[in-house]
Amino acid sequence: MFGDNASAAPAAWAEIQARTAALGFDMPSEANTGALLRLLAASKPGGRMLELGTGTGLATAWLLAGLDASASLVSVDVDPVVQDVARAHLKDERLRFVLADGLDFIRERSPASFDLIFADAWPGKYEALDETLALLKRGGLYVIDDMLPQPNWPEGHPARVDDLVARLESRPDLVVARLTWASGLIVAARR
């Protein structure tokens, strides 16, 4: 079916998805999100990519599939249990896993360090947004998902989402697109 990208998923994706379900991890990235991430990563030859929130590695697998031989990906998570799923299935010299608090990681990086940032955790999305966006190079892409209502949203979360979207769209240094794709995505490019 058109719009269903699961059939084009990276080799490790199905195994990671099965382990994700077995863990009861309720915040997995969808195949359609992954397909877009792969495409965007491929648009940055030799690029440096950052994923904030490895989770079990579903999105990580797609990002990795989009990298060329000279590109690299750093994936950060604070939870060793979920990140260990990704570590077990994704072994590649272009990928470096970091077990750390996302806020600490963001604040220790130099400005204009990354060509693409997928912020799939509170740090980099709802916390330290300005510091995260400062990590983007000119022409760099910032991607977030879960912008459409989700069953696991905590009380009061719709207002946070609205505030985040307004903050992103008010920035003159970004060009922002809202996509009703997968769980609801925003892709922003730094001018």
Q: Model confidence over 70-97: pLDDT tens digits? A: 999 999 999 999 999 999 999 999 999 9
What does the alpha-carbon distance between residue 151 and residue 128 come to, in Å, rounded to a whole number? 25
* Token reading at 77: 């998570």
pLDDT for 63: 98
- Tokens 């994936």 sit at which residue? 75
Residue extents of the structural domains in the chain: 6-190
Provide mean pLDDT across the span 28-41: 93
User: What value does the mean pLDDT of the chain take?
Assistant: 95
Q: Model confidence over 126-144: pLDDT tens digits? A: 999 999 999 999 999 999 9
pLDDT band, very low/low/confident/very high, at 1 (cuts 50, 70, 90): low
* CB distance 186 to 147 below 8 Å: yes
pLDDT band, very low/low/confident/very high, at 2 (cuts 50, 70, 90): confident
Provide mean pLDDT across the span 61-78: 98
Percent of the chain with pLDDT over 90: 85
Percent of the chain with pLDDT over 70: 99
Reply yes or no on whether the pLDDT at 121 is more than 70. Answer: yes
Fold classification of 6-190 is Rossmann fold (3.40.50)
What does the alpha-carbon distance between residue 22 and residue 86 come to, in Å, rounded to a whole number? 14
Q: Model confidence over 147-183: pLDDT tens digits? A: 999 888 889 999 999 999 999 999 999 999 999 999 9
How far the first Cα of the chain sits from its last, in Å, is 36
pLDDT band, very low/low/confident/very high, at 188 (cuts 50, 70, 90): very high
Reply yes or no on whether the pLDDT at 26 is more than 80. Answer: no
pLDDT for 179: 97
What does the alpha-carbon distance between residue 30 and residue 146 come to, in Å, rounded to a whole number? 10
